[in-house]
């Protein structure tokens, strides 16, 4: 348990942990009725990133959860394989970056079937 907490709150994974806290707080606000799922849709278009067709909050939330999970899991897998000391620095920097790239691809695959659940608003142009 202590290793998990150390990995989740250690550099550089702490950046993804902070993003996950923001995402969880946002969804608490949605459940409480203070904001809506589509509140950021006019601010950002994710079609260029392959995540269009769903609300921005759904795409970014799934990206954040997947990136955090992969980063923590990958770093936890490295702990027994690398000796303590400066040799663990480079792999611990690479794991979150790779986790973010893998999470982006997985999010693109994840949001594709969700297009049917979230119909496009009438004023929006159809996604490609």
- Residue 128 located in a structural domain: no
Q: What is the mean pLDDT of residues 21-37?
A: 92
- CA 64 – CA 68 distance, rounded (Å): 6
Q: What is the mean pLDDT of residues 95-122?
A: 83
Q: What is the mean pLDDT of residues 91-106?
A: 90
- Residue 36 located in a structural domain: yes
Cis ω on the peptide bond leading into residue 41 (within 30° of 0)?
no
Which parts of 7-116 are beta strand (E)? none
- Residue 121 located in a structural domain: no
- Residue 127 located in a structural domain: no
pLDDT digits (tens, 9 = 90+) for 49-98: 888 888 888 899 999 999 999 999 998 888 777 777 666 677 778 888 99
CB–CB of 38/55 below 8 Å?
A: yes
CB–CB of 126/47 below 8 Å?
A: no
- Residue 20 located in a structural domain: yes
């Amino acid at each position: 348990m202590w290793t998990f907490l150390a990995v989740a709150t250690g550099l550089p994974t702490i950046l993804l942990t902070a993003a996950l806290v923001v995402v969880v707080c946002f969804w608490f606000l949605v459940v409480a009725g203070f904001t809506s799922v589509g509140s950021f849709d006019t601010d950002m278009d994710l079609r260029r990133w392959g995540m269009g067709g769903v609300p921005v909050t759904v795409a970014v939330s799934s990206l954040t959860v997947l990136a955090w999970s992969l980063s923590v899991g990958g770093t936890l897998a490295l702990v027994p394989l690398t000796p303590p000391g400066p040799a663990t620095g480079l792999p611990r920097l690479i794991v979150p970056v790779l986790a973010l790239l893998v999470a982006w691809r997985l999010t693109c695959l994840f949001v594709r079937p969700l297009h049917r659940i979230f119909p496009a608003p009438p004023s929006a142009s159809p996604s490609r």
